[in-house]
Amino acid sequence: MRRWLMLGLGMAAQAAATVYLFAVPLLLPELRAETGLPLARLGLLVGAPSLGLLLSLIAWGAAADRYGERLVMVLGLTGAGVLLVVAAFWHTPVALGVLLVLAGAAGSSVMAASGRLVLGWFPPEQRGLAMGWRQSALPLGIAVAGVLLPPVAEHGGLRGAFLTQAGISLVAAAAILLFAEDPARPARVPGVRVGNPYRQPVLWRVHGASALLVVPQFVVSAFAVEYLVSQRHDDPTTAGRLIAVTGIAGALARLGAGKWSDLVGSRLRPMRWLAYVNTVSVGLLALGAWLVPSVAVPLLLVAGVVTVSGNGLAFTAVAELAGPTWAGRAMGTQNTMQNLVAAGAPAIWGALIGASGFPAGYAVSALFSLVAAFVVPSGAEQRLAADPQHVARHAARTGGGEEGDGLGDIDG
């Protein structure tokens, strides 16, 4: 049962970080009212936490590889909570941007370490579903934020919203400190040297495809509330509730994708097919917003679910291909590549949507999913499994043996 407790803690940490890392778009109406900034400059604030993630993910991943997941997550969540308290009382545009960058840097500890914590406690045949649960924490965190933050901001302003986010982060840090346990580290196989997995192109292709898929995901999610309020004339609280429904559905979609990958014994083949589905769903959203605005809202909700569904597949594939001695750095690199795009996409698409409208913004983002489908190395897992030298190196990374978990041999 311990592995399920660790999964729950990893999900809680991920969801808590999500409430401030990716929920800034939910505060766009209040940010616009309190700062008076145009949408393109507000997009810079939306991307600020992702910039912080970008600057620190690999370092946090290396720290998790060396010092363990529990310590890394506690330090990051606590630091983010303190920074958000400061932001609650000092949110002029420049100061807020700096504080959001620093909070994102602190919160990236969870992005780098919670995946290691979950994957280290589960065997390969359950790992896709387990990682689906962990990745579902991101849309679930957005769902919680969608229900909680707009009414809090409406009544308590930005101060109330940031204090709420800080409290959630600090409670999660306390839970990790009290109850989390690092998974066991595998022993090295004598005479077998574990090499750098980045000397081969496979991991780079997975990172690249994931980064491309971030574009439609962020374009759909980051501007969903703004679309519903400015184009459909919904009030922010109603829009937030719709986003919450989408977040719950997105979490279920990630679970389904993870289970699918366990059943077919591959993470990358489902990832490629979901990239095609992303292309279709966001393309239809663009057409609906342009030609038939009455159907745009359901299409927006569908696209919001589809574009997040395959995220866990890439993280699971990266960790498995890298092995435990590189898993933290590999997942840190994975997150870095994604957040490099996430930091710039809101500002770029804010300007594009401001100049050309939402249909154009959605249509351009759909093309990124199509390119991603061709970048995914969908046959890489089978080719590597058929390589005897790779099998020996993987045994060295995982602790060897047919009964090994792959990221640690815990039987919790």
Residue-wise pLDDT tens digits, 126-161: 888 888 888 778 777 877 888 888 889 888 888 999
pLDDT score, position 317: 87
pLDDT score, position 369: 93
List CB contacts of 237: < 8 A, sequence separation 6 or more. 150, 151, 154
pTM over 0.75: no
Q: What is the pLDDT of residues 251-302, one digit of tens each?
A: 888 888 988 988 888 889 999 999 999 999 999 999 988 888 778 888 888 9
Contact 207, 334 (CB under 8 A): yes
What secondary structure does DSSP assign to 261-276, as a single string?
A: HHHHT-SHHHHHHHHH
Task: Find, among 129, 169, 221, the residue nearest to 12 by Cα.
Answer: 169
Which residue is it, tokens 């750098």? 196
List % helix, strand, coil for the chain (3-state, nearest 5): 85, 0, 15
Range with the largest mean pLDDT of 62-66, 121-125, 212-216, 240-244:
212-216
pLDDT score, position 167: 95
For residue 336, is pLDDT > 50? yes
pLDDT band for position 47 (50/70/90)?
A: confident
For residue 3, is pLDDT > 50? yes
pLDDT score, position 392: 38
pLDDT score, position 383: 62
Separation of alpha carbons 243 and 224, rounded Å: 8
In this structure, whether the domain defined by 2-183+196-398 belongs to CATH 2.40.50.140 is answered with: no
Give ∠ CA 332-338-341 in degrees, rounded to 5. Answer: 140
Separation of alpha carbons 315 and 319, rounded Å: 6
- 157 — alpha (psi -120 to 50), left (phi > 0) or beta? left
Q: How many CB atoms lie within 10 A of CB 287?
A: 17
pLDDT band for position 381 (50/70/90)?
A: low
Range with the largest mean pLDDT of 115-124, 168-177, 336-345:
168-177
pLDDT score, position 82: 96
pLDDT score, position 402: 32
For residue 102, is pLDDT > 90? yes
Which SS3 state, helix, strand or coil, does residue 289 take? helix
Contact 301, 410 (CB under 8 A): no
Which residue is it, tokens 């980051």? 222
For residue 408, is pLDDT > 60? no
- Lowest mean pLDDT: which of 104-113, 185-194, 353-362? 185-194
For residue 394, is pLDDT > 70? no
List CB contacts of 230: < 8 A, sequence separation 6 or more. none
